Amino acid sequence: MKYKFMLPLALTFSIPVLAAEPLTIDSPHTVFYGAALSDMTFSRKNETKDVDDGAANEFGYRYQINDTFAFDARYIKSSISFKELLSLGLFDGTIDYSAIVASAQGRYAITKNIFVYGNVGASSYNWEYNKQGPLTATADQRKLDDSGLGAFGAIGAKYQWSHVELSIENKLLMMGDVKVSNFGLAVGYRF
């Protein structure tokens, strides 16, 4: 009988713990740098080729509007082609690309410091496909390039300290005939 008030008492005292207070945005500005592994596919005239794997870098800025939504801008550039690097330049068919991206981000708080998020946006891209290696027949040698507007999407998770954040992210860039999937890590500084 003396324990009949324990359950209501426990529920009453657990409400402040379970009802997390909304995070106040003390520093809405974030600059970030990310490095990623890339998988690039090239499709033209009903033919799709897994052209290359490589690495990419990105620099960006994010403005956090409220606890849920943010806008960001980033510059993404391919850096190393693994096919070209491992073959010492003998194999060909590499893609170099760069993109300027503007996107909107929605995030969901798992805990006070852990978030999952998704980005949707547009990109201004430029890519170049080179097939001019020393083992390529002269008739097959070509150089293709394209620039224009494309689509951008990303999903990820991040951990935020007071001013530093660490995130893991999978990005998809649609750039005309080229589709790039980047999986990487990013570190950011909030100010």
pLDDT of 96 over the 70 cut: yes
pLDDT of 18 over the 50 cut: no
Kind and range of the H or E run holding 40? strand 29-44
As a whole number of angstroms, the distance between CA 75 and CA 66 comes to 24
As a whole number of angstroms, the distance between CA 50 and CA 53 comes to 8
The pLDDT > 70 percentage for the chain reads 71
pLDDT tens digits along 40-71: 888 877 776 666 788 899 999 999 999 999 99
As a whole number of angstroms, the distance between CA 178 and CA 190 comes to 33
- The CATH number, out of the four listed (2.30.38.10, 2.40.160.20, 4.10.640.10, 1.10.15.40), of the domain defined by the range 26-190: 2.40.160.20
Domain extents for the chain?
26-190
Predicted confidence at residue 143, as pLDDT, reads 75
